[in-house]
Amino acid sequence: MARTFHIYGNWKLNKNASESAQLALETAQAAAVTNGKVKVAVAPVFTNITTVRSALGSTSHVNLLAQNGYPKASGAFTGEVSFALLKDAGCDGVIIGHSERRQIFGETNEFIADKVQAAAEIGLQVVLCCGETLDEREAGKTWEIVEKQLTVGLSKLPENLRSSVIIAYEPVWAIGTGKTASPDQAQEIHALIRKLLGTLWTPSQAAEVIIQYGGSVNESNALELFRKEDIDGALVGGAALKVDSFSKIIQAAFEVSQ
Ligand code: PGA
């Protein structure tokens, strides 16, 4: 079945407010060229979400994501931001379970499951990240790790909210390192993810789910990755910070979608 390419930029801890507004506008121009044939989103830091929302306008064809959120609605949770507040600030979706959250901040699969449930219930699109480390890959545990991350991560998602989730497969050894999984390596895991979702969910829901690849995606490797059957776009870090590179990645998706 024909799935729409989704190209999302994860800006991580980069860009101040005015730089974020500027990059959002440039990204919107790059996205406009595809006439809605490629879904584009950007994820600025928390403090720049409202600035980017105003820069994009409320009906923009570029969606706005947060990079994280907290599953409780309110209360004594110093330093946290709830999904309801992210929605209130103008977010359309949120990235959950990024490997930097897992590795640097110790987020577990169970905690991520709470976040997936809470974010989806608030009405946000969820980009659930998964992926193995280099040690895990070398030990032959890639699929065991990814399967667990997804099985547990999706375990609390209400059945009627499955269509709000997209998956980003991001091998940790490929993030920010300049090493990309080869298109065949990525396709192999994407196909397994789709198969798994066919058993956790239904085969037709699995056929529709968007599975992005992430990890050093750039203008030189995007086209080859997007030609693979189960790769439906990319979650892009470094190359999303420069509109020249990001627009070429959007363009590559547009080309393959023709
Ligand atoms: P990268 O980051 O494109 O800089 O490797 C991807 C990500 O972490 O989402």
Are 249 and 10 contacting, i.e. CB atoms less than 8 angstroms apart? no
Given the structure tokens 């995606």, which residue do they identify?
217
**Centre of ligand 1 from the C-alpha of residue 74, in Å:** 31
Q: Kindly tell me the sign of the dihedral angle through the C-alpha atoms of 56, 60, 61, 65.
A: positive
Angle (CA) 84-86-92 rounded to 5° is 105
pTM over 0.95: yes
What pLDDT tens digit does each residue of the chain (258 aa) get?
Answer: 589 999 999 999 999 999 999 999 999 999 999 999 999 999 999 999 999 999 999 778 899 999 999 999 999 999 999 999 999 999 999 999 999 999 999 999 999 999 999 999 999 999 999 999 999 999 999 999 999 999 999 999 999 999 999 999 999 999 888 888 899 999 999 999 999 999 999 999 999 999 999 999 999 999 999 999 999 999 999 999 999 999 999 999 999 998
**Centre of ligand 1 from the C-alpha of residue 235, in Å:** 7
Q: Which residues are catalytic?
A: 98, 170
Given the structure tokens 């070429």, which residue do they identify?
248
* CB neighbour list of residue 171: distance below 8 Å, 6 or more residues apart: 131, 132, 137, 142, 181, 185, 189, 215
Could you tell me if the CB of 214 is within 6 A of ligand 1? yes
Look at ligand 1, atom 3, and give the residue with the nearest C-alpha: 237
Could you tell me if the CB of 176 is within 6 A of ligand 1? yes
Which numbered atom of ligand 1 lies nearest the CA of 129? 9
Could you tell me if the CB of 171 is within 6 A of ligand 1? no
Minimal CA–CA distance to 47: which of 78, 74, 21?
21
Could you tell me if the CB of 237 is within 6 A of ligand 1? yes
Look at ligand 1, atom 7, and give the residue with the nearest C-alpha: 237
Q: What is the DSSP string of 231-257?
A: --EEEESGGGSSHHHHHHHHHHHHHHH
**Centre of ligand 1 from the C-alpha of residue 224, in Å:** 17
